[in-house]
Amino acid sequence: MSQPDPPKAEPRPAAGAKSADVVKLEQRLIPEKQPENLSGPDAQKIVRILAADTSKIVVIPYGERRARERKVTRRQIEKCVQLGTIQEGPFLNKFGNWQMNLYRHAAGEEVTCVVAIEWATRVLVINTF
């Protein structure tokens, strides 16, 4: 098999051309204070905003143990939290966090995660099945 030919010249911008300007996108905001009422669609939006950064998806030790028992991977949990739909809730749990069950079906696998929103900071994964 032969090697590809090296490029004939380095790419250069056209004369007088400017590089593209950086456009700031409107940042999606989560209210600073936790609301007294939270609808399903609003809860799902907030979870998706927080879960876009996977470091904000925190699996508590009980959830890790149950996921390991059921052979559910961290990636499956992340995808469930990021793309799942609400099956139950949201409701306020005994700790004052909004809790819900998120369900995801992909590639023949069904995953449900019980999650709670630690308001405006992170999503806690309580259980996985």
Residue 32: predicted pLDDT: 81
Cβ distance 72 to 111 under 8 Å?
A: yes
Query: What is the pTM for the complete model shown?
Result: 0.74
Residue 12 within any structural domain of the chain: no
Residue 91 within any structural domain of the chain: yes
More confidently predicted of 21 and 70: 70
Tens digits of residue pLDDT in 27-38: 467 788 888 898
Residue 24 within any structural domain of the chain: no
Type of residue numbered 107: A
Tens digits of residue pLDDT in 8-60: 666 666 666 666 555 444 446 778 888 889 899 999 999 999 999 999 999 99
Mean pLDDT of 63-89: 95
Q: Give the residue carrying structure tokens 């250069």.
A: 12
Residue 77 within any structural domain of the chain: yes
**Which phi and psi angles does 41 have, rounded to 5°?**
-60, -40
Domain that holds residue 82: 59-128
For the sheet with 109-118, list strands across it.
57-59, 122-128, 109-118, 98-106, 85-92
Residue 31: predicted pLDDT: 81
Q: Give the residue carrying structure tokens 């051309």.
A: 17
Residue 115 within any structural domain of the chain: yes
Residue 28 within any structural domain of the chain: no
Q: Provide Rg for the chain, Cα atoms.
A: 21
Residue 11: predicted pLDDT: 61
Residue 95 within any structural domain of the chain: yes
Q: Per the structure, how many domains does the chain have?
A: 1
Residue 25 within any structural domain of the chain: no
**Which phi and psi angles does 101 have, rounded to 5°?**
-105, 125
Half-sphere exposure of residue 19: CA atoms within 13 angstroms, side-chain side: 3
